[in-house]
């Protein structure tokens, strides 16, 4: 029998946690033959709710689930973590300025980064879901100097999946026939979903669509504002789709991208495509053997350049703000 993989999930009692944990336990995160041990981190007042979710996990009798630990101490929850899913965050509430939001999240992600640094397994892979995800990932990464920076990633896969479906609907092509879509930049309304390198049933997506007005005025804003549209419709933010994207992100990172295709991940920039080094920004990446690489050599046209630059500028401003707050 294989040694179980330790998967730490923060914000385990929240709505994404509720959609995520059952899929991890049933083998969708790492594979149908990989046993897992769940380590749940919650704040003290939510421990009881986390225990309730753990009771339901027990009641599923998942063959792969080797145990569940619950804690309100990051040093305990990240102990031996091979995969860390940082979902819990401080949401923006009415009247809150960006500086307040970043500061409140710094209070969460800095100690968690430190705990990962001190207690996680050597091979730890970190995915930050909690918003502002890219900058929260930067804060955690900066607090973990002993962990290779590239292990800290942020979730852009929900945006990527949203873009896939919009393009699939527009072109009447199944999702499986769409390749090489890219999300660039920040997980925010400035993100840029790029179809200029994408293919639809083997043909250039931009040529198949052939409608720059749709691209600029429909596709890009629909993908970028989808989160708000879900809140408007559902009365609550995306949860099952976010959990699904977290599963996809880690599964792809561990098991690889398909030949000839790529995905989108928020990762520390190496300076590629003019994105300042160190910013955690979304890039087109291929994954193999548990490692990712930025897809190099893509032509970036004027339409794309302006939008990538705008999103990267926002990330730089967030980085400046957390620097000013002493969080990185």
Counting contacts by CB under 6 A, is residue 155 touching ligand NAX?
yes
Which position among 106, 130, 193, 284 is part of the footprint of ligand NAX (CB under 6 A)? 130
Which position among 83, 120, 142, 158 is part of the footprint of ligand NAX (CB under 6 A)? 158
Element (H, E) at 67: strand 65-71
Q: Supply the minimum distance, in Å, between the C-beta of residue 132 and ligand NAX.
A: 8
Residue (160 or 170) nearer to ligand NAX, CB: 160
- On whether 141 is known to bind a ligand per the annotation, the reply is no
- On whether 46 is known to bind a ligand per the annotation, the reply is no
Q: Is the bond into 132 cis (omega within 30 degrees of 0)?
A: yes
Looking only at the bridges linking them, the beta strands covering 125-128 and 203-204 are unpaired
- On whether 220 is known to bind a ligand per the annotation, the reply is no
Active site residue 187: yes
**Catalytic, out of 160, 187, 197, 249:** 187
Which position among 11, 113, 193, 268 is part of the footprint of ligand NAX (CB under 6 A)? 11
Between CA 78 and CA 125 the distance in angstroms is 11
Sign for the pseudo-dihedral over CA of 109, 114, 120, 121: positive
Which residue carries 């919650």 as its tokens? 42
Between CA 290 and CA 258 the distance in angstroms is 13
Site for ligand NAX in 163-202 (CB under 6 A): 187
Residues 73-102 as x/- pattern, contact with ligand NAX by CB under 6 A: --------------xxx-x-----------
Q: Are the C-beta atoms of 72 and 42 separated by less than 8 Å?
A: yes
- On whether 14 is known to bind a ligand per the annotation, the reply is yes
If DSSP codes are grouped into helix, strand and coil, which group holds residue 275? Answer: coil
Residue (15 or 204) nearer to ligand NAX, CB: 15
Which residue carries 């190496």 as its tokens? 270
If DSSP codes are grouped into helix, strand and coil, which group holds residue 225? Answer: coil
Counting contacts by CB under 6 A, is residue 15 touching ligand NAX?
yes
Report the catalytic residues: 187
């Amino acid at each position: 029998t294989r040694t179980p993989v330790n998967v730490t999930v923060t914000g385990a009692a929240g709505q994404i946690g509720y959609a995520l944990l059952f899929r991890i336990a049933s083998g969708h995160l790492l594979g149908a033959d990989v046993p897992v041990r769940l380590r749940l981190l919650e704040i003290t007042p939510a421990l009881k709710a986390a225990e309730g979710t753990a009771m339901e996990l027990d009641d599923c009798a998942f063959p792969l689930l080797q145990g569940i630990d619950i804690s309100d101490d990051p040093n305990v929850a990240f102990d031996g973590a091979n995969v860390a899913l940082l979902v819990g965050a401080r949401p923006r509430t009415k009247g809150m300025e960006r500086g307040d939001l970043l500061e409140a999240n710094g209070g969460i992600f800095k100690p968690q980064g430190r705990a990962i640094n001190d207690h996680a397994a050597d091979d730890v892979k970190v995915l930050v879901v909690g918003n502002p995800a890219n900058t929260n990932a930067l804060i955690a990464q900066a607090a973990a100097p002993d962990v290779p920076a590239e292990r800290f990633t942020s979730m852009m896969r929900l945006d990527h999946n949203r873009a896939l479906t919009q393009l699939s609907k527009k072109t009447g092509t199944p999702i499986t026939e769409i390749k090489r879509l890219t999300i660039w930049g920040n997980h925010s309304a400035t993100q840029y979903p790029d179809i200029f390198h994408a293919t639809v049933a083997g043909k250039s997506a931009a040529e198949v669509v052939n409608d720059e007005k749709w691209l600029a005025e429909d596709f890009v804003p629909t993908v970028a504002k989808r989160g708000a549209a879900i809140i408007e419709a559902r009365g609550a933010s995306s949860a099952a789709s976010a959990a699904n994207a977290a599963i996809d992100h880690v599964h792809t990172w561990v098991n690889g991208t398909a030949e000839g295709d790529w995905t989108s991940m928020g990762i520390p920039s190496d300076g590629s495509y003019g994105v300042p080094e160190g910013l955690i920004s979304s890039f087109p990446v291929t994954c193999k053997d548990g490692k990712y690489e930025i897809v190099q050599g893509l032509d970036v046209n004027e339409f794309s350049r302006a939008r990538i630059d705008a999103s990267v500028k926002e990330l730089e401003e967030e980085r400046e703000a957390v620097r000013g707050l002493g969080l990185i």
